[in-house]
Amino acid sequence: MLALLMLVFQVASVTDIASPRPTGWVTDQAAILDDATEAKLNALAQRLFTSKGIELAIVTVDDVPGTPKQFATKLFNHWGIGAAQTNTGVLVLLVMGKRRLEVETGTGIEAALPAAWLADMQARDMVPRFKQKDFPGGLVAGVEAISAHLGAAPGESTSVAPPGEYRDDGTVVPAGAGASDPGTPGPTVRSEPVRVPPPAYVAPVKDDDDGAPSGAIVGGGLGLLGLGGGAALIARHRRRRRICTTCQPNRRMLPLDEVEDDKHLDEGQRKEENLRSVDYEVLICAGCQQSRTLRHNKWFSGYGTCSSCSYKTASSDSRTIVHATYDHGGQVEVTERCMHCSRVHSYTRYTSQLTRPTSSTGSSSSSSSYSSGGGSSGFGGGSSSGGGAGSSW
Q: Where are the domains of the chain?
A: 2-152+351-392, 156-297
Return the CATH fold of 2-152+351-392.
Answer: Diaminopimelate Epimerase; Chain A, domain 1 (3.10.310)
Distance CA 261, CA 291 (A): 10
Mean pLDDT confidence for 219-229: 44
> What was the pLDDT predicted at 53?
87
Band (133; pLDDT cuts 50, 70, 90): very high
Band (289; pLDDT cuts 50, 70, 90): confident
Band (188; pLDDT cuts 50, 70, 90): very low
Concatenate the DSSP letters of all residues of 329-382 into one string: -EEEEEEEEETTT--EEEEEEEEPPPPPP--TTTHHHHHHTTS---GGGSS-B-
> What was the pLDDT predicted at 229?
52
Residue 229's H or E segment, with its range, is helix 227-240
pLDDT at 221 over 80: no
> What was the pLDDT predicted at 358?
58
> What was the pLDDT predicted at 166?
58
Tell me the β-bridge partners of 58.
26, 92
> What was the pLDDT predicted at 73?
92
pLDDT at 283 over 50: yes
Greater model confidence, 358 or 185: 358
Greater model confidence, 325 or 162: 325
Lowest mean per-residue pLDDT among 68-77, 119-128, 267-276, 369-378 = 369-378
Which amino acid is residue 191, in one-letter code? S
Greater model confidence, 384 or 206: 384
